[in-house]
Amino acid sequence: MPNKENVHFFDLVYKVVRLIPEGRITSYGAIASYLGSAQSSRMVGWAMNTAHSLVEKIPVHRVVNRNGLLTGKAHFETIDRMQKLLENEGLIIENDQIIDFANHFWDPKIELAI
DNA sequence: GAGGTGACTGCGA
DNA sequence: CTCGCAGCCACCT
């Protein structure tokens, strides 16, 4: 659905991430796949890095790798921040990994019915 | 302008 | 099972 020219990859990423419901999470790959660049999952991660600097509030803590591992926690203010935020939304984190990850997974491809 | 880096992923050894 | 490598593309030096 995204165009090819005037649409920036990052903008789409922000848009999708912002749509993630509370208590849900998704993966970099899922977003990348939704944007039509399944192999560019790295860019999603980089987008999060940029998003962190934006004024807009983007729930970047709801984006983890495909294993439900909090790989991006190091980029938050504190290492515990990400886990704390997720736990505050009803998720359970153990060993930096989201418990019952699959059950809380939010796939933009499905939820947004691309 | 060129090279290095990275919050990922999938596949092969 | 774990470990390593290649592909991907925007940003930084």
Per-residue model confidence as pLDDT tens for chain A (114 residues):
333 344 577 888 999 999 999 999 999 999 999 988 888 889 999 999 888 888 888 999 999 999 999 999 989 989 899 999 999 999 999 989 999 999 999 999 898 865
Q: Is the pTM of this model over 0.85?
A: yes
Nearest residue (CA) to C1' of C11 = A46
Q: Any idea which nucleotide's C1' is nearest the CA of A60?
A: B7
- Measured CA A79 to C1' B9 distance, in angstroms: 24
Cα(A112)–Cα(A75) distance, rounded to whole angstroms? 28
Q: Tokens 């439900």 label which residue?
A: A68
| Geometric angle at alpha carbon A48, from A16 and A45, rounded to 5° | 95
Task: Look at strands A97-98 and A93-94 and give their pairing.
Answer: antiparallel
Fold (CATH) for A4-111 = Arc Repressor Mutant, subunit A (1.10.10)
CA of A61 to C1' of C6 (A): 28
Q: CA–CA separation, A77 vs A14, rounded Å?
A: 20
List all nucleotides in chain C with at least one atom under 7 A from a protein Cβ: 7-11
